Amino acid sequence: MRKLSLKELNRVNIAQFKDQPKTPLVLVLDNIRSALNVGAAFRTADAFSLEKIFLCGITAIPPHREILKTAIGATESVAWEHAEDVVELVQSLREDGYTILGVEQADQRTWLQDVRIDKTEKYALLFGNEVEGLDDRLMPLLDTCVEIPQFGTKHSLNISVCVGIVTWELFKQWRLE
């Protein structure tokens, strides 16, 4: 066994990435304090060819040194937009036909492994602040609240890890099942 070289990975370039079909999923990052987490979300969005990232509230926007550090070029490939008001954005996404999935610990949640997507629909995944979680104003706007089961002593996962886990689970259903 040997590791593959970068050339052997045969990755698309930015122009090819922008032209290829996208997974019908957008990420909404609201009031994310760490620009490193934002950069990691860009890397995940690039890896799974997501439609777009919306950066809301105080969430840092490119070009920010820490975003660029972890995104490693994904800010150039992944479409993104800043939206000041997350509630207005989510209402607009709903009007555009997106199913709204919030990732949060809530009394009425669906475990991640039980979420089933409709491959004919498009989805928005909402992630909130590292400490406060999703803005309370968003909870009534959710079609589904998704939670990742956890069995340790901590109350939550880092947002960059959470974005990766949830995105991978949905991506599998679109592309691999």
- Encode the chain (177 residues) as per-residue pLDDT tens digits: 999 998 999 999 999 999 999 999 999 999 999 999 999 999 999 999 999 999 999 999 999 999 999 999 999 999 999 999 999 999 999 999 999 999 999 999 999 999 999 999 999 999 999 999 999 999 999 999 999 999 999 989 999 999 999 999 999 999 888
Residue in 45, 169, 162 with CA at minimum distance from that of residue 116: 169
Which residues does 82 contact at the CB level (< 8 Å), separation at least 6? 54, 55, 56, 59, 61
| Tokens 């669906």, residue located | 110
